[in-house]
Structure 1
């Protein structure tokens, strides 16, 4: 339970940070969940990885697709922590993804000049949680 609670805390923190980043899109970015099973007192860690398609768009909306994914990861972790079954409990808590038309429109307004992925995490203020 310590591990799941730690993962939940970090995913919620990440969701809070991404919620403050208008215009940023973390397309195809992954989450890496780390825990050293040999040291049960160790803190679990969640990192964002794979920034090849991280970019900014011209609009100022938040990345609703990534935020939806984070919220859904939280729902699954809560279910594991609290022993809830998939049917019903989790399904009621899953966030709906944005429509494909919204995603397509955002891809069309990508700011091509800002697609330098090596600086993406730093520019977005995600140091310490991004690899």
Structure 2
């Protein structure tokens, strides 16, 4: 009896789990391209600030910057009026995300450098989003 259950139940269970794993993440990723853009901008800014702080690898700095860019996007998405983008708030959110990501990745043991990398990414996202908004008005 156990063999019959294994032969009938396991393949259908595997097919259902495989379909749910591959189909469910597709929908949220396609919902908002701005998250991907902000993460890419943050990764680039993280690499640049990593050159100045001389702490961590390029990949580690890119990860900190990408996390900070995504966090800034998330924080700005929570606002009622998305036009009220504050540089100070974006710096704080980016710095917080940088320090948390730096603690997780462990690439740089200096928290101040992690904050600088994250805040630089937050500032880059803020500058980019403000320029995009101002260019659309013209």
Taking structure 1 as the reference length, the TM-score comes to 0.29
Q: Which has the higher strand share?
A: 1
More helix by share: 2
Higher relative CO (CA 8 A, sep ≥ 6), structure 1 or 2?
1
CA radius of gyration, larger in: 2
